[in-house]
Amino acid sequence: MIVVTGAAGFIGSCLVSRLNADNFNDIIVVDNFTVARKEPNLQGKKIKLFVDRMEFPEWLDKNYEEVEFIFHLGARTDTTEFDPAIFNLLNLEYSKKVWLACCEYQIPLVYASSAATYGAGKLGYDDDENIVPLLNPLNPYGDSKNDFDKWALEQTAKPFFWAGLKFFNVYGPNEYHKGRMASVVLHAFKQINDRGRLELFRSHNPEYADGEQKRDFIYVKDVVEICMFLMHHRQNSGIYNVGSGQARTFLDLAFNTFEAMGREVNIDFKDTPSDIRDNYQYFTQATMDKLRRIGYTKPFYTLEEGIRDYVQSYLIPNTYY
């Protein structure tokens, strides 16, 4: 059996679909299943058992002998939530329980970290584990992810294989439930579809023109391929970036979304909301050498390819992955 926590969410549900595609059908999905808007993410998938996230540690204690691998993707991911206690409970302490169980029962583990750990990027975006204690995230979500990375690296007891994945700006199908936290591609599609135009955040940094803010956007299909690779690889434990390795501007994203939809470009700019303006990242770009060095050779979707597939294969027909 393969466990996926956060399985009803964006990346988790896509991973379940990708596992099914390779005939892994004994999937244990773990999540808070009371959120109705997430339900379509798992419809039609081959799943062995649904386990509530708060009951999972006890379930694992009873069923560990049958578990082959754990993908721990479940987390509170709201970057506009500023109560550290919520992140401490759901992200840090919960992840420690999963880690310790994987040590005790010798189960390999892949868990979700985040590029939010890099903060404003003053130390760059290199997945060198030596800089993890020096990083300064910009919000409690990033703190919780970096605190767990630091804790994991400090442990003398580790699963025989483990990997922490620093996800950059992931976009793609099955993020429809995420609301404000959905990718810019989904927001762009909705705005263009509804109004025929798109609003982007104005730059409040004199070093960047409006729309020239850059992020490392990675298509979710690349993310799940990396997960599959690590499940089979089971060597070279450590923390890895998961990005495309290529920063692109929000204008690039906008132009490609208009093109994929067959619409004329029509862009306005608005002020970045005050609650996120001071902690806004103007540039992110993953260094991907470390993952390549351990043998991951697949090419990544370009922004053009990823947006075209997302818009035309999923958003326009309103389908799930």
Q: Which residue has the tokens 């959120």?
A: 35
Compute the distance between CA of residue 140 and CA of residue 161 in angstroms, rounded to an integer.
28
What's phi and psi for 248, nearest 5 deg? -130, 155
Is 202 annotated among the ligand-binding residues? Answer: yes
Q: What is the largest CA-CA distance in the chain?
A: 57
Please indicate if the annotation marks 282 as binding a ligand. Answer: no
145 a known binding residue? Answer: yes
Element housing 31 (H / E): strand 27-31
Say if residue 308 carries a ligand binding annotation. Answer: no
Catalytic residue check, 301: no
- Is residue 183 a known part of a binding site? no
Is 77 assigned a ligand-binding role in the annotation? Answer: yes
248 is in an annotated binding site: no
Among 94, 118, 141, 310, which one carries the catalytic annotation? 141
Whether the CB-CB separation of 160 and 107 falls below 8 Å is answered with: no
10 is in an annotated binding site: yes
> Parallel, antiparallel, or unpaired for β 248-249 and 214-215?
antiparallel
Alpha carbon distance 170, 243 (integer Å) = 8
d(CA 182, CA 13): 15
Residue 280 labeled ligand binder:
yes
Residue 75 annotated as binding site: yes
**Catalytic residue status for 150:** no
Active-site residue (options: 45, 158, 178, 190): 178
3-class SS of residue 112: strand
* DSSP sequence for 214-241: EE-EEEHHHHHHHHHHHHHH--S-EEEE
Token pair belonging to 210: 């409006």
203 marked as binding residue: yes
Helix (H, G, I), strand (E, B) or coil at 252: helix
Q: Is 74 annotated as a binding residue?
A: yes
292 is in an annotated binding site: no
Q: Which residues are annotated as a binding site for NADP(+)?
A: 10-11, 31-32, 38, 53, 73-77, 145, 170, 178
Q: Which residues are annotated as a binding site for substrate?
A: 169, 180, 187, 201-204, 215, 280
Q: Which residues are annotated as a binding site?
A: 10-11, 31-32, 38, 53, 73-77, 145, 169-170, 178, 180, 187, 201-204, 215, 280
Positions marked active-site: 141, 178
